[in-house]
Copies of this chain bind each other. A is one copy, B any other.
Amino acid sequence: MDTLLILLQSLDGASIAKAAIAIGAGIVVIGAGLGIGKIGESALKSIARQPEASGDIRSNMIVSAALIEGVAFFALILLIVALFV
């Protein structure tokens, strides 16, 4: 028996980078999900406790969630840039 196994493993770095960008995008969403989820959760509980303060709570919920949204979008744009650079 004479086996000739030539394994050319061309695992180039560009693919590793692309893989990590995909993982990174997932981590971004975990971060944003935890943060905005916490805010949304307490918004709903708070409206349930004080239905008359519903307008105030809604506007504050949007402001604080938008701050997390901003960081998350900026990180995702960074990932898109990293994809092409």
Contact = CB atoms under 8 A, between A and B. Distances in A.
A61 B64 contact: yes
Given A15-B13, A20-B20, A34-B30, A61 B44 contact: yes
State the number of copies, please.
5
A47 B57 CA distance: 7
Contact of A16 (B15, B75, B76): B15
A32 to B, nearest CB: 4
A54 to B, nearest CB: 5
13 contacts: A11-B11, A12-B15, A24-B24, A25-B26, A32-B33, A33-B34, A33-B35, A36-B37, A36-B68, A43-B60, A43-B64, A53-B54, A74-B76
